[in-house]
């Protein structure tokens, strides 16, 4: 199974509700460039799963513009632990998903998927792709690529 992690794009400053923070126009532009670049390089997710927060839903919608017709699931809540995330993913029955989410959870999960501790740096619109033995993974996965937006945008 291929599992992709993607952090949402650059969002508005936090002035009110965190849940309603939208992508900035520049943030949306970067996400478009990243997804377009990765698609031209052969990346193709099998499903899109995102957190319920607006910035993640907007990022997921951009992914779906490039991959129409994919299964799309919005998680019922922001999951803060890897076990909870994989439990919910198991219930959804997704294959080769891209998970659009937030830090610090994504950066921690990115490291754990290869058996490392700590946090992998995950700036907005960063994408990491792994080959794993299932959800939840029973052993460390293989990192297929790690693409900060500056790199992914070059693939266009």
Residue 156 has pLDDT above 80, yes or no: no
Q: What is the value of pTM for the model shown? A: 0.93
Residue 43 has pLDDT above 80, yes or no: yes
* pLDDT averaged over every residue in the chain: 90
What kind and span of H or E run contains 108? helix 105-112
Residue 77 has pLDDT above 80, yes or no: no
- Higher-confidence residue of 12 and 88: namely 12
Burial class, 128, CB count within 10 angstroms (exposed 0-12 / middle 13-18 / buried 19+) = buried
Torsion of CA 77, 135, 104, 60, to 10 degrees: -60
Q: CA angle 24-30-55, nearest 5°? A: 45
What structural domains and CATH numbers belong to the chain? 2-11+21-153 (3.40.50.1240)
Question: pLDDT over 90 for what percent of the chain?
Answer: 63
Helix axes 54-66, 25-40, angle to 10 degrees: 40
């Amino acid at each position: 199974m291929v599992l992709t992690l993607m952090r949402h794009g650059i969002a508005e400053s936090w002035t009110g509700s965190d849940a309603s923070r939208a992508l900035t126009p520049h943030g949306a532009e970067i996400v478009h460039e990243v997804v377009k670049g990765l698609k031209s390089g052969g990346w193709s997710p099998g499903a899109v799963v995102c957190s319920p927060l607006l910035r993640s839903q907007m990022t997921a919608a951009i992914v779906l513009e490039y991959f129409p017709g994919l299964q799309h699931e919005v998680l019922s809540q922001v999951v803060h632990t890897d076990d909870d995330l994989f439990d919910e993913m198991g219930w959804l029955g997704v294959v080769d998903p891209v998970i659009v989410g937030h830090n610090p959870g994504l950066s921690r999960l990115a490291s754990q998927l290869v058996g490392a501790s700590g946090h992998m740096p995950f700036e907005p619109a960063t994408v990491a792709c792994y080959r794993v033995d299932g959800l939840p993974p029973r052993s460390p996965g293989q990192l297929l690529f790690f693409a900060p937006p500056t790199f992914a945008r070059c693939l266009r």
